[in-house]
């Protein structure tokens, strides 16, 4: 039985920090803990999906707990978990209420009780639950709450003073030496209207003294959400609405540095890659996406593929360089891999084109691939230059030399 260890996509801790995220942590913690940092203060951690934003948030959280545990109420909120809620304000406040209520020494019992009352009022008011926060001011919420209370006598008028009430509770915590910090993750997995809902809830109700917000963002996703939300108002892509929107909310935008080939190689080696990946690190440095999530998926599939090769008679002679390239192709371009499974000779065509040995639009395609020529032409139109990693992947590949055996390679990898 082979001993195969897999890499998880869960946020890592300090011991698993293969990407040196600790270089960000101490500066951020210094900003948050410095008594001269003015609040409210929002930090945006920008990075693509899979770039390690969740890991960075966890490491900042761990460092605050370890060195400043008595100075902060640390609140964790994942809006994607609450994506079926009609609006995000209540679950956001509930995350704060839970953190206060679960203090083992019950130091914040009074604040938790008052916050609970505020939440009950919000939940009871059906009118407020239907309000679109994007078009509602605190004053408007107060007016609606007062009208509803007059009609039904069921809603406490303090609902309309929610921001003031939250500020008072933050002041009370500050008197006890505590500030509040919200860690908000997975926002970019939500629908556009939910993204805006969370951001505007933060701006409307958490933009108060003694409160920090650390929020992870895939900026392109948020930009699309803002554009979709405000498209009916006549804004266009050239208006850069997403930039202006976030600029009004975020005081410190932190963009995660992109990984270079050397960092990708170090990540692979330090993760315990297995014999197959370990022997082809230089190739992987060139062709694997500089994204921790993608790297882990490639390494996991390579480990399993390596075990399959070892346990299958007749596969020992497979060209390992081709196996490496096909696994990367499988993970990083499923659409192209699907076309390759249908027409394995597409691998040869792409190799010849990228190596400058074939013009994809010339009659040579018909001569070289005959009955498959029309499929090859369409596939080349779709995929040639569709991904940056394809050029280095095919630059020194040997698919043509193993053309007759390509179906075996593809079946083994999952074709």
CA angle 22, 25, 26 (to 5 degrees): 105
Cα 317–chain centre separation: 39
Question: Strands 211-217 and 179-184: what pairing?
Answer: parallel
pLDDT of residue 158 exceeding 50, the answer is no
Facing residues of 253 across strands?
Answer: 44
pLDDT band at 231 (very low <50, low <70, confident <90, very high): low
Q: Residue 405's pLDDT is what?
A: 93
Find, among 411, 398, 405, the residue nearest to 325 by Cα.
398
DSSP string, 146-157: HHHHHHHS-S-G
| CATH among 3.90.180.10, 3.40.50.80, 3.40.50.300, 3.40.640.10 for 20-255 | 3.40.50.300
Lowest mean pLDDT among 1-15, 132-146, 312-326: 132-146
Residue range(s) of every CATH 3.40.50.300 domain in the chain: 20-255
CA torsion sign for 326, 327, 333, 335 is positive
Q: What is the pTM of this model?
A: 0.77
**Mean pLDDT of the 62-76 span:** 94
Find, among 270, 310, 260, the residue nearest to 2 by Cα.
310
What tens digit of pLDDT does each residue of 309-360 get? Answer: 888 887 778 899 999 999 999 999 999 999 999 999 999 999 999 999 998 7
Cα 202 to Cα 173: distance, rounded to the nearest angstrom:
19
Question: Strands 179-184 and 72-77: what pairing?
Answer: parallel
Highest mean pLDDT among 35-39, 144-148, 189-193, 261-265: 35-39
């Amino acid at each position: 039985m082979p001993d195969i260890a897999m890499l998880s996509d869960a946020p890592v801790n300090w011991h698993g920090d293969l990407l040196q995220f600790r270089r960000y942590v101490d500066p951020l913690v210094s900003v948050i803990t410095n008594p001269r940092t003015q609040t409210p203060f929002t930090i945006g951690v920008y990075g693509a999906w899979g770039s390690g934003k969740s890991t960075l948030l966890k490491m900042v959280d761990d460092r605050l707990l370890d060195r400043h545990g008595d100075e902060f109420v640390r609140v964790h909120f994942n809006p994607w978990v609450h994506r079926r809620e009609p609006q995000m304000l209540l679950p956001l406040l509930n995350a704060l209420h839970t953190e206060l209520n679960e203090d083992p020494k019950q130091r914040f019992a009074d604040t938790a009780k008052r916050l609970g009352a505020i939440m009950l009022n919000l939940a009871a008011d059906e009118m407020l639950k239907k309000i679109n926060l994007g078009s509602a001011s605190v004053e408007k919420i107060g007016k609606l709450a007062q009208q509803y209370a007059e009609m039904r006598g069921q809603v406490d008028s303090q609902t309309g003073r929610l921001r003031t009430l939250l500020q008072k509770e933050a002041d009370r915590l500050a008197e006890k030496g505590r500030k509040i910090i919200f860690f908000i993750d997975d926002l970019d997995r939500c629908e556009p209207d939910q993204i805006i809902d969370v951001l505007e809830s933060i701006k409307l109700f958490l933009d108060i003294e003694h409160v920090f917000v650390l929020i992870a963002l895939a900026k392109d996703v948020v930009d699309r959400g803002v554009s979709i939300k405000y498209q009916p108002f006549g804004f266009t892509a050239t208006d850069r609405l997403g930039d202006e929107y976030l600029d009004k909310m975020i005081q410190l935008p932190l963009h995660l540095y992109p990984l270079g080939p050397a960092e990708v190689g170090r990540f692979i080696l330090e993760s315990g890659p297995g014999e197959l990946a370990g022997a082809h690190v230089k190739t992987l440095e060139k062709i694997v996406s500089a994204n921790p999530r993608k790297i882990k998926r490639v390494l996991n599939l390579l480990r399993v593929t390596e075990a399959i090769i070892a346990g299958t008679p007749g596969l020992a002679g497979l060209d390992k360089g081709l196996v490496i390239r096909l696994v990367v192709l499988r993970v990083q371009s499923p659409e192209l891999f699907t076309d390759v499974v249908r027409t394995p000779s597409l691998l040869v065509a792409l190799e010849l084109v990228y190596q400058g040995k074939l013009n994809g639009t010339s009659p040579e395609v018909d001569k070289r691939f005959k009955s498959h020529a029309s499929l090859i032409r369409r596939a080349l139109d779709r995929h040639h230059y569709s991904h940056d990693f394809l050029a280095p992947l095919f630059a020194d590949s040997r698919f043509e030399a193993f053309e007759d055996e390509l179906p075996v390679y593809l079946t083994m990898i999952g074709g």
